[in-house]
Structures are given as C-alpha cells and as structure tokens.
C-alpha cells in the first residue's frame, strides 16, 4: 500500500513550496516548482495545475495519494482562482489555509468567503511565515490526526 501524503494546492506565489518545506522539515534553498513533487510528507502541486481548468482532472487523480488536501488562499492577492465547490471533488479531508495573513488586512473577509465558496469547512489556518503564525498549530493538526 502506498504511503499517503498531504497534498498542497494553490495559485503561483502563494507560499505552497514554503509550506511544503516546513511540513517536510526541509531547510534548504527555495526553488520554484515547475513539476509535481512528492516529498517526505507532502505532494507539492504547481500553481499551473489550479490556474488551468483542463488540469483539474490531474489534481483529482493525484489526490488519491493524499491523506489531506490543503487549499491555499493568498491573503495578499485573494484573486478567485478556484471553481465554486471545488473541495467537494476530494474524498479525504480538505483544510483551508490563508497564507501571508500579515499582509493587507482588509482582504480577510474575501479570503474567508473564498474558502466557503470553494466548499472548505472550518477550521481555517491563518499562516504567516515571517511571523511564524499558526504554523505549529497546522503541523499539530495534520500530524497528530495521522497518528490516531
């Protein structure tokens, strides 16, 4: 049986690879992810997969290897990129993550509404890498649930 990993989905430059590196306890250099990357604990899905509707079928197929799906919304640029109800395509738990929550505070309601429209249920995690906000809480939520 294949090992299940946490799948991370989001638009380009929303913090996916940074989050993936944290979840994999990797401290090396950041690199743009042009390809799908299976890490120790994660599946890093390039932004192009969600930015091009014809690639949704690939995201859904890849999700069969996922224990959880993290759908990222960028607080600094909350452009609506996901289709309405998108989270309902997946069989495993879908978790909403708002990245760059320390930037542009007036986008808070837009980000929350976007997650609701996508079909993601609470709890939502508000992540800021420079400030270290809720990163440990997300890791605890993901990895302690896996151990149960």
What is the predicted pLDDT for the residue at 119? 97
Tens digit of each residue's pLDDT (9 = 90 or more) over 36-59: 999 999 999 999 999 999 999 999
Query: With contact defined as beta carbons under 8 Å apart, do 93 and 119 qualify?
Result: no
**pLDDT tens digits, residue range 59-89?**
999 999 999 999 999 998 878 899 999 999 9
pLDDT tens, residue by residue, 120-141:
999 999 999 888 888 999 999 9
Residue ranges per structural domain of the chain: 5-147
Which position has the higher pLDDT, 103 or 88? 88
Q: Take residue 143 and report the two structure tokens written for it.
A: 């990895």
Q: Say if residue 136 is preceded by a cis peptide, omega within 30 of 0.
A: no
DSSP letters of the chain?
-PPPEEEEE--TTSSHHHHHHHHTT--S------S-EE-SSEEE--HHHHHSGGGHHHHHHHGGGEEEEEEEEETT-----SPTTGGGG-SS-EEEEEE-TTS-GGGHHHHHHHHHHHTPPSPEEE-BTTTTBTHHHHHHHHHHHHH-
Model-level pTM?
A: 0.91
Confidence check: pLDDT of 9 > 70: yes
In this structure, which topology does domain 5-147 adopt according to CATH? Rossmann fold (3.40.50)
């Amino acid at each position: 049986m294949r090992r299940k990993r946490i799948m991370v989905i989001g638009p380009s430059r929303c913090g996916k690879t940074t989050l993936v590196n944290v979840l994999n306890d990797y401290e090396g250099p950041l690199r743009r992810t042009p390809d799908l990357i299976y890490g120790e604990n994660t599946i890093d899905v390039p932004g192009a997969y969600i930015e091009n509707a014809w690639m949704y079928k690939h995201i859904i197929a890849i999700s069969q290897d996922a224990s959880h799906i993290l759908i990222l919304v960028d607080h600094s640029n909350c452009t609506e990129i996901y289709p309405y109800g998108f989270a309902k395509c997946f069989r495993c738990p879908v978790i909403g993550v708002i990245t760059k929550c320390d930037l542009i505070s007036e986008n808070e309601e837009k980000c929350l509404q976007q997650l609701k429209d996508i079909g993601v249920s609470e709890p939502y995690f508000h992540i800021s890498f420079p400030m270290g906000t809720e990163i440990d809480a997300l890791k605890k939520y993901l990895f302690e649930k896996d151990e149960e």
